[in-house]
Structure 1
Amino acid sequence: MGVTLDTLDTVVLCWLPDVMVSMGLFQPDTDIFDRRDVLREDYQPEEIVGRDEELQQYISALQPVINGDQPANIFLYGKAGVGKTACTRYLLSELKTDAADYGIDLTTVRTNCEDLSTSYQVAIQLINKFRDPSDQLKPTGYPRRQVNEWLWEELDAIGGTIIIVFDEVDHIDDDSILYQIPRARANGNLEQSKVGIIGISNDFKFRESLSSKVQSSLCEKEVQFPAYNANELRDILRTRADIAFYDGVIPHEVIAKCAAFGAKDAGDARQSLDLLMEAGDVAVEQDADQVCEEHVDEARALLEQSRIIDGVAGLTQQGHLVLYALLMLYEEGETPVRARDVQNRYEIVCKRAATEPLVPRRMRDHLGELAMLGIATRIERNKGESGGRYYEYSLDTNPDLLLEALAETVDMVGVTDAIQTRLDGEI
């Protein structure tokens, strides 16, 4: 008797559950990771490692809250991954607990300014954080004065002491809100609330871009977070690894290698933790019993490729053209190079792409963005009175991966002899 489609369905349906029960497609990992999420960015450790001096400065700056006084305005700066946000979360959590013990009404609110470019947008987002979901403001369409009045009403309705954390505060182009909030009580806009600001920035030069009146208020207390050294990164990684992995899975040399890469690149704990997590993932994929140094090497190559692809994808077309101009100069052995020389090559690239070039100042902004992303390096030179101070730029990324990520730009602009030589070498 032949098997019909109906009977075949019946056979499969009867057979499949038995197979799935004994041999599931997905099974929990029992060899490498115990608590993988401990290595993620949003994990808040119970203790902060490698930041004793910065924590002490930070605690001193927050002390007025416990005294029942107007909170100080605090500005934190340092590169990404050096503990600014982690320390802020940790201390504000401790502060709220201690404040409650002393009968102090403390409210903390955090807003990330990455996608906000104006004080107006920041004020709207703050108001919506305080309001019920059914009473949210639209992004635009209100007079600025009215928005400010609503903000003061919301803050005063909360009462007590309020600390507002502006993460990535350097994305705000105008600094009016950074001036108005710290002075709101003195200007009679607030009566029931005492408000303080904590500004967090990855840009060391952001402070210089603020008006003098904002500097004196926002930067009342400053804490600088330097890059982690290899020893500090080893301590951080070991503390997390002891929780994230099963016993005996992460040998000392793996921790040391991940820390060394992180210290060499930027002193970035986030980068080192990502590398350790990726190395664990590689070990899981290879069904290994332990994470080894070879897994770290493979993980680093995978992360580098992902970082470049994501970084280049996030650039504008002009950013792609600036990067391609710098890549050309690198391949020709002309780097490190001054911005004015990048500008010359960039204008040629724009002409080939039938695109109007940016003025030098805007082109330098794109070079700065490449440096901030870790795709390029920016080195400050000081030639004294005769030569003055200036920056030189070079690549800090695998050029083969860059060419792959810039494939559309390469097709549009064309190649130089040096670029063609590299492309021929890939074939």
Structure 2
Amino acid sequence: MGLFQPDTDIFQERDVLREDYQPEEIVGRDEELQQYISALQPVINGDQPANIFLYGKAGVGKTACTRYLLRELKDDAAEYDVDLTTIRTNCEDLSTSYQVAIQLINDLRDPEDHLKPTGYPRRQVNEWLWEELDAIGGAVIIVFDEVDHIDDDSILYQIPRARANGNLEESKVGIIGISNDFKFRESLSSKVQSSLCEKELQFPAYNANELRDILRQRADIAFFDDVVPHEVIAKCAAFGAKDAGDARQSLDLLMEAGDVAVEQDATQVTVDHVDQARESLERSRIVDGVAGLTQQGHLVLYALLMLHEEGDTPIRARDVQDRYEIICGRAAVDPLVPRRMRDHLGELSMLGIASRTERNRGESGGRYYEYALDTNPDLLLEALDETVDMVGVTDAVQQRLDQDL
């Protein structure tokens, strides 16, 4: 008998819990789907596709709804003899309109005709893009996932207006822009806002009831019958709703709980498995997050951790700066100027290690941010062990360490 054998008691189709799984039906997004369908309706009527802008936090169904509706739209378009092509481009690694244009051209060309990343005049690249798009004909929908990664917005203006400007004759092109950044729209020029944001859809965070529906839908396929009781689904949903209303977090937690059950040769997933899975995922998130920080990031984080243990958080950045400079002195490292130190606090906030709350004290106090730790201090001390050894500890941190012994 080999070292590896199929597991047959818990998981029936584990991949159903992964982020890239596309369900046959979307649950928990009825209102958003109806708005989305209305925005896509012109395609079936043979008209120019509307430009649609979706925004909301990660894990709230923007991409899943888009994939689902475009699949349905393509099927219906074929039934009504409507010529429709969809193109999806993830902009995570594309920071300029030039790079986006190159990527689109390569998506439309055969591999042997692909362009190099750089080295062409911008005007020529645009002409090639219009040629490729016009060669498709009919309705064309381009999906820009994580569109907020594009620093300059010229392509978001040019594509929607390409037909009006005479660059396209045979194709009617529309854009769907998807963003996790609520403020991205505000950063766009007014002319881009009027074109890209022709139809706007906001996806709010899921509540616990919606997350329960999503988890039950996936669990019924991913697990064998009677393996995941209601209380497990409810607990995973509650954790997801409390954290950020993020379906991905809840699904990851359920999958990890299933893995724990498999490792323990259990016949059913329990709430104890969920607790163990949550601790494991939190530990991994913190270790990965801290490992990705620079040395200065570690020092800023340790300063915030010290202040947390002393009961001084939430705290303004200028007060974190004071403790941070003391820590830098102990580490024999030159401290950053306040602006750069604040950048590291902002990074901690984006990683979910710290929280950032805006305060407004009116004309006398002005507006500012307060920062607080948003992560298990014990796990942070483990991840920062080298920094702790190098800098030393305060009485409050030592008490924390003594408690963990």
CA distance in 1, matches of 2:49, 2:195: 12
CA-CA distance at 1:407 after TM superposition: 3.6
SS of residue in 2 equivalent to 1:165 = strand
Q: What do residues 323-348 of structure 1 show as CA deviations (whole Å, max 9, x unaligned)?
A: 33322322222211223333444455
Counterpart of 1:88 in structure 2 is 66
Higher alpha-carbon deviation: 134-143 or 27-36? 134-143
SS of residue in 1 equivalent to 2:359 = strand
Amino acid at match of 1:45: P
CA-CA distance at 1:420 after TM superposition: 4.0
Give the alignment of 1:144-223 within 5 angstroms: 144-223=122-201
Query: Which of 336, 344, 349 is 1:357 aligned to?
Result: 336
CA distance in 1, matches of 2:382, 2:315: 23
Counterpart of 1:123 in structure 2 is 101
CA distance in 1, matches of 2:235, 2:78: 43
Counterpart of 2:112 in structure 1 is 134
SS of residue in 1 equivalent to 2:85 = strand
SS of residue in 2 equivalent to 1:328 = helix
1:246 aligns with 2:221: no
Counterpart of 2:30 in structure 1 is 52
CA-CA distance at 1:234 after TM superposition: 0.8
Q: Which has the larger radius of gyration?
A: 1
Q: 1:365 to 1:156 in 2, by over 3 A?
A: farther
SS of residue in 1 equivalent to 2:124 = helix
CA-CA distance at 1:353 after TM superposition: 5.4
CA distance in 2, matches of 1:284, 1:260: 23
Counterpart of 1:11 in structure 2 is none
Q: 1:169 to 1:407 in 2, by over 3 A?
A: farther
SS of residue in 2 equivalent to 1:377 = strand
Counterpart of 2:269 in structure 1 is 291
Counterpart of 1:66 in structure 2 is 44
SS of residue in 2 equivalent to 1:231 = helix
Q: 1:350 to 1:34 in 2, by over 3 A?
A: same
Counterpart of 2:244 in structure 1 is 266
Q: 1:153 to 1:227 in 2, by over 3 A?
A: same
1:315 aligns with 2:278: no
Give the alignment of 1:300-339 within 5 angstroms: 300-339=278-317
Higher alpha-carbon deviation: 205-214 or 252-261? 205-214
SS of residue in 1 equivalent to 2:370 = strand
Amino acid at match of 2:158: Q
1:39 aligns with 2:14: no
Contact between 1:350 and 1:357, CA under 8 Å: does it hold in 2?
Answer: no
SS of residue in 2 equivalent to 1:62 = helix
Q: What do residues 358-399 of structure 1 show as CA deviations (whole Å, max 9, x unaligned)?
A: 552x54444333223221222233334443443322111112
Counterpart of 1:19 in structure 2 is none
Higher alpha-carbon deviation: 103-112 or 272-281? 103-112
| TM-score of the superposed pair, with normalisation by structure 1 | 0.89
Q: What do residues 158-203 of structure 1 show as CA deviations (whole Å, max 9, x unaligned)?
A: 2221111111111222222222221222222222221111111111
Contact between 2:52 and 2:199, CA under 8 Å: does it hold in 1?
Answer: yes
Contact between 1:38 and 1:243, CA under 8 Å: does it hold in 2?
Answer: yes
Amino acid at match of 1:39: L
Q: 1:24 to 1:109 in 2, by over 3 A?
A: same
SS of residue in 1 equivalent to 2:10 = coil
Q: What do residues 265-286 of structure 1 show as CA deviations (whole Å, max 9, x unaligned)?
A: 1111110011011101100110
CA distance in 1, matches of 2:305, 2:233: 33
Contact between 2:86 and 2:142, CA under 8 Å: does it hold in 1?
Answer: yes
CA distance in 2, matches of 1:187, 1:366: 44
Contact between 1:163 and 1:196, CA under 8 Å: does it hold in 2?
Answer: yes
Corresponding residue pairs, total: 404
CA-CA distance at 1:149 after TM superposition: 2.0
CA distance in 2, matches of 1:270, 1:259: 11
CA distance in 1, matches of 2:214, 2:58: 16
CA distance in 2, matches of 1:411, 1:148: 55
Contact between 1:346 and 1:357, CA under 8 Å: does it hold in 2?
Answer: no
CA distance in 2, matches of 1:120, 1:68: 30
1:390 aligns with 2:368: yes
Contact between 2:324 and 2:335, CA under 8 Å: does it hold in 1?
Answer: no
Contact between 1:353 and 1:413, CA under 8 Å: does it hold in 2?
Answer: no
Higher alpha-carbon deviation: 333-342 or 31-40? 333-342
1:235 aligns with 2:213: yes
Contact between 2:318 and 2:338, CA under 8 Å: does it hold in 1?
Answer: no
CA distance in 1, matches of 2:334, 2:140: 49
CA-CA distance at 1:263 after TM superposition: 0.7
CA distance in 1, matches of 2:381, 2:374: 14
CA distance in 2, matches of 1:405, 1:38: 32
CA-CA distance at 1:318 after TM superposition: 4.3
Q: 1:366 to 1:168 in 2, by over 3 A?
A: farther
Counterpart of 1:99 in structure 2 is 77
Counterpart of 1:402 in structure 2 is 380
Q: 1:65 to 1:286 in 2, by over 3 A?
A: same
Amino acid at match of 1:354: V
CA-CA distance at 1:415 after TM superposition: 4.1
CA distance in 2, matches of 1:209, 1:77: 14
Gaps spanning 5+ residues in structure 1: where?
Answer: 1-22
| TM-score of the superposed pair, with normalisation by structure 2 | 0.93
